[in-house]
Amino acid sequence: MQKRLLGKSGLEVSSIGLGCMGLSHGYGPVTETRQAIELIRAAVERGVTFFDTAEVYGPYLNEEVVGEALAPLRDKVIIATKFGFTFGDDNKQQILNSRPEHIRLAVEGSLKRLKTDVIDLLYQHRVDPDVPVEDVAGTVKDLIAEGKVKHFGLSEAGAQTIRRAHAVQPVTALQSEYSMWWREPEQEIIPTLEELGIGFVPFSPLGKGFLTGSIAAGATFGSDDFRSKVPRFSPEALTANQALVAVLNQIAQDKAVTPAQIALAWLLAQKPWIVPIPGTTKLHRLEENLGAADVVLSERELSNIATALETVKVQGDRYPAALQARVGR
Residue type at position 165: A
In a domain, residue 229? The reply is no
Q: Among 27, 57, 60, 123, which one carries the catalytic annotation?
A: 57
In a domain, residue 13? The reply is yes
In a domain, residue 46? The reply is yes
Q: In which domain, by residue range, is 190 found?
A: 3-208+267-295
pLDDT reported for residue 88: 82
pTM: 0.97
pLDDT reported for residue 92: 78
In a domain, residue 260? The reply is no
In a domain, residue 24? The reply is yes
Residues 276-286 have pLDDT tens digits of 999 999 999 99
Under a CB-based contact definition with an 8 Å cutoff, are residues 76 and 104 in contact?
A: no
Half-sphere exposure of residue 48: CA atoms within 13 angstroms, side-chain side: 28
Q: Does the bond joining 129 to the residue before it have cis omega, within 30 degrees of 0? A: no
Q: CB under 8 Å to 73, separation ≥6 — which residues?
A: 41, 44
Q: Which of 203, 98, 74 is nearest to 150 (CA)?
A: 74
In a domain, residue 315? The reply is no
Catalytic residue status for 123: no
pLDDT reported for residue 90: 79
Instruction: Give the separation between CA 171 and CA 162, rounded to whole angstroms.
Output: 8
Q: Which residues of the chain have pLDDT under 50?
A: none
For the chain, how many structural domains are there in total? Answer: 1
pLDDT reported for residue 58: 94
Residues 23-64 have pLDDT tens digits of 999 998 999 999 999 999 999 999 999 999 999 999 999 999
- The CATH number covering residue 271 comes to 3.20.20.100
Instruction: Give the separation between CA 74 and CA 85, rounded to whole angstroms.
Output: 26
